[in-house]
Amino acid sequence: MLIVAITILIIGVSACERISQVVQPIPSDIEDKSKEISIGVVLPLTGHLASTGELMKQGFDLALGEINKDQLGNTQFKFIIEDDSSTPEGAIAAFNKLIDEDGVSVIFGPASSSATGEAFPIAQENQVVAFSATAGARGLSEIGDFVFQFPAKGDTWIAKGVEATHEKLGYQRVAKMYDETDRFSSDRDQTFQKILEAKGIEVLTTETFKSGDTDFSKQLNRIKALNPDAIFVSALPPEKPKVLIQQHQLGISAPFIITSLTAVEVQAAGVAAEGAVTFTSWLITDNTPGNQAFIESYRSVYGTDPSGSVISAYVATYILAEAIKNAQSTDAAAVRDALQNIRDFDTLVGKFSFDADGSGVYDSKVVIVKDSTLQPFK
């Protein structure tokens, strides 16, 4: 098994510079053996978050294809993909199936924080590594030492974002909206509340909605009547464009500061997204190692520009690849230890590390929608 593991992630030179981070020459005394290494992937391919799941699958598939293509040996990664139907119950069933029937030692997913909160304890109990590329609620990686989150803790990002936007926009009276049924949205709203209070900014009202809602007119009309200086929104991908479109129809002029707004959601909202501010880790114009080569590769395969969900899945795959290479094993405990030791690894979002709790550590950006694109907030 050690011989097989050493050859798992021996990668040659790729057109994308970040692949050099995984490249190591094959020792002359290692015999090349053919083997397929299975990794579980739990995604919302149906249900409320299906569009997000499809984008994440593109990121996983593109990274997997590059890694398998550029290996010098015959060992190949294989993804066993399970659909969690965008529900915590589906994620639980998918994790149990991958662990009990497929015998995997590593699982990517789930995508949402609500599903991750239910599935991570299963991985921890079975001592299987679970690594979510997109679940951003605080505390999920603290469930145990076998579970990891790619997203950084929200406290630092939001504090930086509020500082930057408050300095420029000068808001003193604000309103908030969030999805009360989603763990990530609720967590982000709590963080906004804490940081706004600490800065002495008055929160006039906090309006709530539920995942799957399509009409936000009542909440937005109540907010409009209070005439806030800014509006903070914490929501999942399907709801964000709808909120922006409806606020535009109501003629609300206050700037919207909205969590994790992506290019796909900006496109869906159209002109209604203009002027919205968000906090992110990646822009298409970044000069991080391999970013421009990645964009060209993605465009050639999918005919469009990548979005944040694609980036998270793609980068997470390379982080796992680096960990397996460093571990020289696919044993779950060895991979866990190697992930814990990831420090300043070059990725499309810049230098990446894990903190002591298993959450990602990397730089954030404050960006604004201008001319229908995400641009640095200045």
pLDDT of res. 340: 98
pLDDT of res. 13: 35
pLDDT of res. 1: 38
Query: In the beta sheet, which residues pair with residue 172?
Result: none
pLDDT of res. 154: 84
Beta strand residue intervals within 84-120, DSSP E: 106-108
CA distance 304 to 260: 20
pLDDT of res. 11: 35
Strands 202-209 and 173-179: parallel
3-state secondary structure 33-64: CCCEEEEEEEECCCCCCHHHHHHHHHHHHHHH
pLDDT of res. 217: 98
Beta strand residue intervals within 92-189, DSSP E: 106-108, 129-132, 147-152, 173-179
Cα(first)–Cα(last) distance of the chain, in Å?
A: 53
Phi, psi for residue 146 in degrees, rounded to 5: -100, 0
Burial class (CB in 10 A: 0-12, 13-18, 19+), 79: middle
Which has the closest alpha carbon to 223: 189, 182, 255, 179?
255
Strands 359-361 and 147-152: parallel
Q: Is the peptide bond before 376 cis (omega within 30 degrees of 0)?
A: no
Q: Are the CB atoms for 79 and 133 separated by under 8 Å?
A: no
pLDDT of res. 71: 66
Which has the closest alpha carbon to 235: 180, 280, 197?
180
pLDDT tens per residue, the chain (378 residues)?
333 333 433 333 333 444 344 334 333 332 344 578 899 999 999 999 999 999 999 999 999 999 988 764 567 899 999 999 999 999 999 999 999 999 999 999 999 999 999 999 999 999 999 999 999 999 999 999 999 999 998 888 899 999 999 999 999 999 999 999 999 999 999 999 999 999 999 999 999 999 999 999 999 999 999 999 999 999 999 999 999 999 999 999 999 999 999 999 999 999 999 999 999 999 999 999 999 999 999 999 999 999 999 999 999 999 999 999 899 888 999 999 999 999 999 999 999 999 999 999 999 999 999 999 999 998
Q: Are the CB atoms for 84 and 90 separated by under 8 Å?
A: yes
Q: Are the CB atoms for 21 and 345 separated by under 8 Å?
A: yes
Count CA within 13 A, CB hemisphere, residue 215: 2
